[in-house]
Homo-oligomer: A and B are copies of this chain.
Amino acid sequence: MQPLVKLIYVEADPPSLGDNTGDIDRLKKIALTTDSGKDFFVPFRQMSPVARNFRDSGFKGWLVVNDLTPGYEIVDFLAEPPDVLPGMALDLGTTHLEASLVNMLDGTIIARANRENSQINYGADILSRIHFAARDDGLSRLQKEISSCIQALAVELAGRGGLKVENIRSLAVSGNTTMVHLLLNLDPYYLIREPYIPLVNAPEPCLAAELGLNFHQAAVVWILPSVGSYFGGDLIAGILASGLDLKEETSMLIDVGTNAEVVLGNRDWLIACAGAAGPALEGGVARMGMRAGPGAIEHVAISQDSGEIRYQTIDGGRARGICGSGIIDLVAAFYLNRIIDIRGKYRPVVFPERFIETVDGLAFVVVPATEAADGEPVVLTQVDLDAMMRSKAAMYAILTTLINQVGLEFSDLRRIYVAGAFGRHIDPEQAITLGMLPDLPLDTFKAIGNSSLNGAERILLERQDRERCIELIHKITYLELNVNQEFMIRFSGSRFIPHTDQSLFPSVPYFNDA
Contact = CB atoms under 8 A, between A and B. Distances in A.
Interface of A: 15-25, 39, 41-45, 47-48, 51-52, 55, 70-71, 184-187, 190, 194-204, 206-207, 210, 226-229, 231, 478, 480, 482-483
A195 B26 CA distance: 14
Given A23-B200, A44-B207, A55-B190, 17 more contacts: A15-B195, A17-B196, A17-B480, A17-B482, A17-B483, A20-B196, A24-B203, A25-B200, A25-B201, A25-B202, A39-B70, A42-B203, A44-B206, A45-B210, A47-B184, A48-B199, A70-B71
Q: Closest 10 CB pairs between A and B?
A: A70-B70, A20-B228, A44-B206, A22-B198, A22-B201, A24-B200, A15-B197, A17-B195, A22-B200, A51-B199
28 contacts: A17-B480, A18-B480, A20-B228, A20-B229, A21-B197, A21-B201, A22-B197, A22-B201, A22-B202, A22-B226, A23-B190, A23-B198, A24-B199, A24-B200, A24-B201, A25-B200, A25-B201, A42-B204, A43-B204, A44-B204, A44-B206, A45-B210, A47-B199, A47-B200, A48-B186, A48-B187, A51-B200, A70-B70
Contacts of A21: 197, 201
Nearest to A206: B44
Nearest to A230: B20
How many copies of this kind of chain does the complex include? 2
B186 A51 contact: yes
Contacts of A18: 480
Nearest to A477: B20
Contacts of A52: 187
A12 to B, nearest CB: 11
A55 B198 CA distance: 12
A284 to B, nearest CB: 27
Given A17-B482, A195-B15, A195-B17, A41 B200 contact: no
Interface of A is mostly: loop
A186 B49 CA distance: 10
A203 B24 CA distance: 8
A23 B71 contact: no
Contacts of A42: 200, 203-204
A19, A203, A210, most chain B CB atoms within 10 A: A203
A207 to B, nearest CB: 8
